[in-house]
């Protein structure tokens, strides 16, 4: 029996990384590959919305649920009703019931005018009433060949906003032509959660396996360790078009990258 300590920075598998497979498959795969926990993307899969079912999966696979991603994506606009704050409040309640530390939230779309106008204040008000960290995610402008559209309000870049907690997404950094290490330095201790995925600077949000794009993700992970980062790193890698075998190989490679650059590989004897 191993007496190895739990890694100081847990590496999670986001259930979004196995889409279109379901949540139960994500837990099973995470256990087989050796992840430290799970991030739940609340989605149309009913199991992602039910705290009892999620807790049963967590217990079965001995994997804690460390983060919940609120259903604030464009394709999840109908989930849990149309009222945005209702989605946030329900996500916080779900996180509390399953013992998650963080709720990941996207900033509003510009057409959600009333929600956007009170968003920063609304997040602050809700943060004051819970120990769960409401971590707003960095996003990106929508770009075409010769144009750029700002679709998030108050902005896709959280640096100038007053959020107490932020999720740093390195794939989104690539899409916004930003450097994830620079973003970490600019956000400072407000970074409470990390989504790890690579990108090439394409107009699309790529969520590549770490090491296959242009982001300095090895340096990002080293820097998190050096700074004494207290949150988790959640692998958010797109595998939708992969075969089962290729998906599992990609996620094993992504986990190995994270473990290696977080200094969690055992030394050779």
Runs of H (alpha helix) within 99-201: 113-117, 119-127, 170-175, 180-187
Domains and CATH numbers, the chain: 11-261 (3.20.20.150)
pLDDT digit string, tens, across residues 87-117: 999 999 999 999 999 999 999 999 999 999 9
pLDDT on residue 266? 61
Beta bridge partners of 152: 109
Return the exposure string of 198-214: e unless at least 16 CB atoms fall within 10 Å of the residue's CB, then b: bbeeeeebbbbbbebbe
**Interaxial angle between packed helices 244-261 and 23-33, expressed in degrees from 0 to 180 and rounded to the nearest 10:** 50
pLDDT on residue 78? 81
pLDDT digit string, tens, across residues 219-251: 999 999 999 999 999 999 999 999 999 999 999
Pairing state of beta strands 102-105 and 65-69?
A: parallel
| Residue pair 60/93 in contact by the 8 Å Cβ criterion | no
The enclosing H or E element of 166 equals strand 165-169
The pTM for the full model equals 0.94
Pairing state of beta strands 191-196 and 233-235?
A: parallel
Task: Flag whether pLDDT at 3 surpasses 80.
Answer: no
Q: Is the dihedral of CA 253, 255, 261, 264 positive or negative?
A: negative
Q: How confident is the model at residue 7 (pLDDT cuts 50, 70, 90)?
A: low
Comparing 1-10, 53-62, 193-202, the range with the smallest average pLDDT is: 1-10
CA dist., res. 43 & res. 116, Å (int): 22
pLDDT on residue 80? 87
Q: Averaged over 2-12, what is the pLDDT?
A: 71
Q: How confident is the model at residue 2 (pLDDT cuts 50, 70, 90)?
A: very low
CA dist., res. 240 & res. 140, Å (int): 21
The enclosing H or E element of 60 equals helix 51-61
| Residue pair 196/170 in contact by the 8 Å Cβ criterion | yes
CA dist., res. 241 & res. 247, Å (int): 9
CA 130 centroid distance within chain? 20
Residue 12, classed as helix, strand or coil, is: strand
Q: How confident is the model at residue 267 (pLDDT cuts 50, 70, 90)?
A: very low
pLDDT digit string, tens, across residues 66-80: 999 999 877 777 888
Measured CA distances, 35 to 62, 226, 228, 247 (Å): 10, 22, 20, 15
Q: Is the dihedral of CA 122, 68, 72, 163 positive or negative?
A: positive
pLDDT on residue 146? 72
| Residue pair 19/45 in contact by the 8 Å Cβ criterion | no
Question: Which residues are CB-neighbours of 111 under 8 A, at least 6 positions away?
Answer: none
pLDDT digit string, tens, across residues 116-175: 999 999 999 999 999 999 999 999 998 777 777 789 999 999 999 999 999 999 999 999
């Amino acid at each position: 029996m191993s007496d190895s300590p739990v890694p100081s920075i847990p590496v999670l598998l986001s259930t979004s990384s196995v889409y279109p497979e379901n949540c139960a498959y994500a837990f099973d795969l995470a256990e087989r590959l050796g992840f430290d926990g799970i991030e739940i993307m609340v989605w149309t899969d009913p199991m992602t919305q039910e705290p009892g079912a999620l807790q049963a999966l967590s217990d079965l696979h001995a994997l804690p649920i460390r983060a919940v991603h609120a259903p604030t994506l464009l394709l999840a606009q109908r989930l849990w009703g149309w009222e945005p704050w209702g989605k946030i409040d329900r996500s916080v309640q779900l996180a509390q019931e399953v013992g998650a530390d963080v709720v990941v939230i996207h900033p509003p779309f510009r057409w959600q005018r009333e929600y956007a106008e009170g968003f920063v204040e609304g997040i602050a008000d809700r943060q004051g009433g819970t120990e769960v960290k409401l971590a707003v995610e960095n996003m990106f402008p929508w770009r075409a060949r010769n144009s750029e559209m700002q679709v998030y309000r108050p902005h896709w870049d959280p640096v100038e906003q007053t959020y107490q907690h932020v999720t740093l997404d390195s794939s989104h950094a690539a899409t916004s032509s930003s450097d994830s290490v620079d973003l970490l330095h600019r956000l400072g201790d407000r970074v409470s959660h990390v989504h790890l995925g690579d990108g090439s600077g394409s107009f699309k949000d790529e969520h590549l396996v770490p090491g296959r794009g242009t982001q300095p993700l090895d340096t990002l992970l080293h820097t998190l360790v050096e700074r004494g980062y207290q949150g988790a790193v959640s692998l958010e890698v797109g595998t939708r078009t992969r075969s089962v075998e290729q998906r599992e190989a990609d996620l094993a490679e992504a986990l190995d990258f994270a473990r290696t650059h977080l200094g969690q590989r055992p030394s050779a004897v």
